[in-house]
């Protein structure tokens, strides 16, 4: 499971995100971008962040370190913003934190062109997890010291919002026409050759083991957290082998069909 810290100070809301994440300080003196269990998207957003963030890390992408963050609702008592106060009060217990990347800038494809190899790896990964939130309007990429970092994976694996239809949903092609890196001739065929063999049952078991049990309990149709962990792994394992052939919107680029 992820390492855990405890929030000691709420600093400020980060209003760029739809779920109103906040910047907090923790008992290890680190600063984290906190995503709340009490936000409108609920705990499934946090599960998606863990699965995709930890999988991306193991595949060699740069992603902020993830930790679980214990939150005492009392931190919300002094907040003047009623929306923030309510969010803190409703998120007592375990939440998700990401290392705050000091000095990072939001990615602008007009200012920071990407190489076809790196663009292909990111497009392939987003196709694997079904990321619908990496468009040029909202890239969810950061530039830090000239390097690309992947953030915000809450809008992935849409099949986990309807498990009975997950097999059909997870088999859909991926439309990359609006992707933030689509203009850079992404080499998705090369990415698939390098990355797909790494997505094994063993790797996905390791990744899904990072999800806290309490974010998995009570899901209809699943008797145990481990049963739900296996359900998260199955579509990803199935998609890894051939998703590069079902990426749409890149024309003939990168060996896509």
Phi, psi for 211 (deg, rounded to 5) = -75, 125
Whether 39 contacts 175, CB under 8 Å: no
Token pair of 3, please? 């390492």
Note the pLDDT of residue 225.
Answer: 98
Per-residue pLDDT of the chain in tens (257 residues, 90 and over written 9): 899 999 999 999 987 656 789 999 999 999 999 999 998 778 999 999 999 999 999 999 999 999 999 999 888 777 888 888 999 999 999 999 999 999 999 999 999 999 999 999 999 999 999 999 999 999 999 999 999 999 999 999 999 999 999 989 889 999 999 999 999 999 999 999 999 999 999 999 999 999 999 999 999 999 999 999 999 999 999 999 999 999 999 964 444 43
Q: At what angle do helices 43-58 and 201-208 cross, to 10 degrees?
A: 130
Write the CB contacts of 226 (distance below 8 Å, at least 6 apart in sequence): none
Whether 125 contacts 61, CB under 8 Å: yes
CA distance 112 to 182: 13
N-to-C CA span, the chain: 38
Write the CB contacts of 37 (distance below 8 Å, at least 6 apart in sequence): 43, 46, 90, 91, 93, 94, 95, 215
Q: Which of 52, 49, 63, 71 is nearest to 5 (CA)?
A: 71
Whether 247 contacts 173, CB under 8 Å: yes
- Global confidence as pTM: 0.94
Note the pLDDT of residue 255.
Answer: 40
Q: Could you tell me if residue 6 is left (phi over 0), alpha (psi between -120 and 50 degrees) or otherwise beta?
A: beta
CA distance 119 to 241: 19
CA distance 257 to 68: 40
CA distance 111 to 3: 36
Instruction: Find the length of the chain.
Output: 257
Phi, psi for 196 (deg, rounded to 5) = -55, -40
Cα radius of gyration rounded to whole Å, the chain: 18
Note the pLDDT of residue 1.
Answer: 84
Whether 140 contacts 104, CB under 8 Å: no
């Amino acid at each position: 499971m992820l390492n855990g810290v405890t929030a000691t100070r709420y600093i400020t809301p980060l209003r760029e995100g739809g779920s109103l994440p906040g910047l907090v300080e923790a008992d290890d003196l680190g600063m984290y971008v906190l995503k709340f269990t009490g936000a409108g998207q609920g705990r499934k957003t946090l599960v998606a962040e863990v699965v995709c963030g930890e999988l991306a890390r193991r595949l060699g992408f740069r992603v902020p370190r993830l930790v679980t963050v214990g939150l005492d609702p009392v931190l919300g008592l002094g907040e003047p913003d009623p929306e923030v106060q309510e969010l803190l009060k409703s998120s007592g217990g375990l939440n998700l934190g990401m290392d705050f990347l000091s000095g990072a800038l939001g990615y602008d494809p007009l200012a920071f062109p990407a190489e076809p190899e790196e663009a292909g790896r990111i497009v392939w990964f987003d196709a694997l997890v079904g990321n619908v939130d990496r468009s040029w309007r909202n890239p969810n990429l950061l530039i830090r010291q000239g390097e690309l970092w992947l953030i915000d994976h809450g809008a992935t694996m849409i099949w986990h919002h309807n498990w009975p239809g997950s097999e059909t949903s997870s088999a859909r092609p991926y439309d990359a026409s609006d992707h933030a890196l689509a203009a850079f001739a992404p080499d998705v065929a090369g990415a698939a050759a390098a990355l797909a063999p790494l997505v094994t049952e063993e790797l996905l078991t390791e990744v899904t083991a990072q999800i806290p049990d309490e974010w998995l309990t009570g899901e209809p149709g699943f008797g145990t957290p481990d049963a739900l962990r296996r359900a998260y792994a199955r579509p990803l394992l199935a998609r890894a082998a051939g998703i590069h052939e079902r990426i749409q919107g890149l024309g003939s680029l990168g060996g896509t069909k």
